[in-house]
Each structure stands twice: as structure tokens, then as C-alpha cells.
């Protein structure tokens, strides 16, 4: 990741664990959603200021995910995420899950995140400065 980490694609690496495997012998779909969330949370903590982190928590209100290829035990995974469009009430976040070996696209997700006030648990508005800093408006890298 180069440049401002808030507007760039952000990556984390993950290993497929034995408990991630389902009865079909590949990574269970729920695990992909965990990876999407893990990448988003890591990006927020890497790019947001301490003040921003104290002012907002984020919850997902919508997931869309397309599964392209299965992951298997022992695979090394790269979860790449970035913020797309945003409004005063929500952010679209995009994530690609790839097998590190060969850069094979395993899944592509779009999630909609809403900020909430940590003390009340109620939705809050996204400031213009936060939207400008994080949102790229891009749906594809």
C-alpha cells in the first residue's frame, strides 16, 4: 500500500485453517465473510486517526458476495479492500479475496457499512472530511 492509506487498497494476508474447511472439503462461505470483515476492520485501524476511531464504530447492513473459486486447507489468502462510494449515512466497501499463489480470484464482495455512535449504538452521519479522505468512488481497482 502506498500513499494515503485511507484511500488506497489495503491488504491483509491470511492462512486457511483446518477449522475453516466445511464438509465439502473447501473453505466455508461464512469464512469468506469473516475475511471481508477482518480486512475492513484492519484497514480502519490502520488508516483512521485515534479521534476518528473514538467517534465511530462500524456495522454492516448489507453483504453481496460472488464466489469464484474455492480455497482449501493450507492456502495463503490475500484480502484486498478499498472504500468505494459514500454518502452521509453509509460507505460501500469492496473486497477481493485471492489465493496468494497465482493471484487467483476466489471471491469478490461489496459490503455496506454504517457508522454508529459508540456510546448510544445509534447511526451517525459520516462527516464530509471522513468521506473525502476514505471514499474513492471506485468500484474496481
The number of domains in the chain is 1
| Segment 77-108, tens digit of pLDDT | 999 999 998 889 999 999 999 999 999 999 99
**H-helix segments, the chain:** 29-47, 50-55, 128-134
| Segment 36-84, tens digit of pLDDT | 999 999 999 999 999 999 999 999 999 999 999 999 999 999 999 999 9
Answer yes or no: is 124 within a domain. Answer: yes
Answer yes or no: is 116 within a domain. Answer: yes
pLDDT exceeds cutoff 60 at 138: no
pLDDT exceeds cutoff 60 at 4: no
Answer yes or no: is 3 within a domain. Answer: no
Q: What is the DSSP letter of 6?
A: T
pTM: 0.88
Amino acid at each position: 500500500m502506498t500513499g494515503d492509506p485511507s484511500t488506497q487498497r489495503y491488504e491483509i494476508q491470511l492462512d486457511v485453517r483446518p477449522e475453516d474447511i466445511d464438509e465439502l472439503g473447501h473453505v466455508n462461505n461464512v469464512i469468506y465473510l469473516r475475511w471481508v470483515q477482518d480486512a475492513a476492520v484492519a484497514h480502519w485501524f490502520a488508516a483512521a486517526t485515534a479521534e476518528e476511531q473514538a467517534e465511530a464504530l462500524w456495522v454492516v447492513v448489507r453483504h453481496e458476495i460472488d464466489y469464484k473459486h474455492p480455497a482449501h486447507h493450507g492456502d495463503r489468502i490475500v484480502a484486498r479492500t478499498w472504500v468505494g462510494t459514500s454518502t452521509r449515512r453509509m460507505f460501500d466497501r469492496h473486497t477481493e479475496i485471492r489465493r496468494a499463489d497465482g493471484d487467483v480470484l476466489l471471491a469478490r464482495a461489496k459490503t455496506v457499512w454504517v457508522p454508529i455512535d459508540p456510546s448510544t449504538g445509534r447511526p451517525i452521519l459520516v462527516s464530509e472530511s471522513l468521506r473525502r479522505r476514505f471514499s474513492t468512488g471506485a468500484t474496481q481497482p
